[in-house]
Copies of this chain bind each other. A is one copy, B any other.
Amino acid sequence: MYDGHFEEDNLTPDEAKSQADMLAWHPIMFQVARVLSSTGILKEVKSGRKKGITPETIADKLSIPLYGVKVLLEVSLSIGLTKLMAHNTYTISKMGYFWLLDKQIEINMNYVHHVCYKGMFHLEEAILTNKAAGLKELGPWEKIYEGLSLLDEPIKKSWFDFDHYYSDVAFKKIFPEIFKDNPKMILDVGGNTGKFSIACCEYNKDVKMTIVDLAGQWNRAKKNIDELGLSDRISGHVMDVLIDDPVYPKNADIVWMSQFLDCFSEEEIVHIISNASKSMHENSALYIMELFWDRQSHPVPAYCLHGTSIYFTAMANGNSKMYHSEDMRQCVEKAGLKVVKDVQVENGYHTLYRCELA
């Protein structure tokens, strides 16, 4: 972790007050920034290059009322997305470039607006009840997973764009570790779309995979697997990992859980690891790959993970989050295993825990 960012209070009192002052207006500033993108106004400012452009020119070109263009551009100065060349003449700032052109920022912005914004109004209720109290803004579900396929557009697209973007992990970097003892059978718990299992089969010609997931997920994964002709090597074990006495397949050389446990509370994580470990033999390993907020190399990825935590709180399930590495380690130990290897994956964001029976 970058040293001291969460420990040292380096702001002057003036800076601290300014930060607090501005925080009170954050939802409004977010919406201004979003609408500057969605209406194409910020793109026009960019096209005005270094000589700048007036609200009048943009309003004409986009057929948007002048008042609206002008007020958004004025506020964009405070946000930092634009700069003034002269009175009423705007140019895009460096920050504006990133806001306009960075794919990850666009995905986060759409996800926060379409999936999270309305529900966040109910965050206090979510905190007090331990329930995803904001989810009622999207549909009549207890947890968002029940409703994913039923979400309206553009909510659905925003959710899946976010999910795909962050689950696109470079597995190749970790395969030397996973395959070093030449595993014959890997249990892919929470295998979802089958991406990891498919990548394993492509990496190693002999390994057999078993995906443990809910029926909906498995049916979707199976389609991908069949299309790739891998149905003799990847099988499904349809099961809700939260049931009281789950029965996992036996004799897994490796149990794999990647960005899966953050969907569960600490108590549930202990339950899942503890039960899944029954499929292990004495030389098996259980791997956990997660994004831990205390293991990021820069404050901004930690900030994004913290934002995602609150999505879990208010929108997804009301009880999970992106974890601290130490809390996950304690869950592993409570489940009767120990972390024997703790590796920071090369991309800098993911941590890989190799766990063995204690």
Question: Which residues of A are in contact with B by a Cβ distance under 8 Å?
Answer: 6-9, 11, 13, 16-35, 38-39, 64-65, 67-69, 71-72, 74-75, 77-80, 83-85, 87-88, 93-99, 102, 104-105, 108-109, 112-113, 116-118, 120-121, 123-124, 126-130, 265-266, 293, 299-300, 302-304, 306-307, 309-314, 319, 321, 324, 326
Contacts of A64 in B (CB 8 A): 127-128
Q: Is the CB of A39 within 8 A of B6?
A: no
**Cα(A71)–Cα(B316), bound, Å:** 14
Q: Is the CB of A7 within 8 A of B300?
A: no
Q: Is the CB of B303 within 8 A of A21?
A: yes
Q: Is the CB of B83 within 8 A of A130?
A: no
**Cα(A174)–Cα(B300), bound, Å:** 47
* A324 to chain B: closest residue by CB: B74
Q: Is the CB of B28 within 8 A of A75?
A: no
Contacts of A98 in B (CB 8 A): 16-17, 19-21
**Apart from A27-B31, A31-B310, A68-B130: 20 A-B pairs, beta carbons within 8 A:** A17-B102, A20-B98, A21-B102, A24-B307, A26-B27, A27-B27, A27-B113, A27-B117, A28-B307, A29-B307, A32-B123, A67-B130, A67-B265, A67-B319, A71-B312, A71-B313, A74-B309, A75-B310, A78-B306, A118-B118
Contacts of A18 in B (CB 8 A): 299-300
**Cα(A48)–Cα(B56), bound, Å:** 54
- Within the oligomer, what is the number of copies of this chain? 2
**8 A-B pairs with least C-beta separation:** A68-B127, A16-B94, A25-B307, A20-B98, A26-B26, A24-B108, A26-B30, A16-B95
Q: Is the CB of B313 within 8 A of A24?
A: no
Contacts of A129 in B (CB 8 A): 65
Q: Is the CB of B6 within 8 A of A105?
A: no
**Cα(A43)–Cα(B109), bound, Å:** 31
Q: Is the CB of A26 within 8 A of B29?
A: yes
Contacts of A75 in B (CB 8 A): 306-307, 309-310
Q: Is the CB of B124 within 8 A of A78?
A: no
**Cα(A127)–Cα(B104), bound, Å:** 26
Contacts of A109 in B (CB 8 A): 23-24
Among A8, A18, A67, chain B packs the most CB atoms within 10 A around the CB of A67
* A7 to chain B: closest residue by CB: B84
Contacts of A9 in B (CB 8 A): 83, 93-94
Contacts of A321 in B (CB 8 A): 67, 71, 74
Among A21, A69, A99, A112, chain B packs the most CB atoms within 10 A around the CB of A21
Among A69, A96, A307, chain B packs the most CB atoms within 10 A around the CB of A307
* A84 to chain B: closest residue by CB: B6
Q: Is the CB of B20 within 8 A of A310?
A: no
From B19, B24, B130, B324, A65 is in contact (CB under 8 Å) with B130
Contacts of A314 in B (CB 8 A): 31
**Cα(A202)–Cα(B339), bound, Å:** 77
Q: Is the CB of A313 within 8 A of B68?
A: yes
**Cα(A6)–Cα(B13), bound, Å:** 23
Q: Is the CB of A126 within 8 A of B309?
A: no
Given that A71-B313, A128-B65, A128-B68 are contacting pairs, would A27 and B112 also be in contact in the complex, using a CB cutoff of 8 Å?
Answer: yes
Contacts of A17 in B (CB 8 A): 95, 98, 102, 300
Contact sample, A vs B, 15 pairs, CB 8 Å cutoff: A9-B93, A11-B80, A11-B94, A19-B95, A20-B98, A21-B102, A21-B105, A25-B304, A26-B26, A29-B307, A67-B265, A68-B130, A71-B309, A71-B321, A74-B321
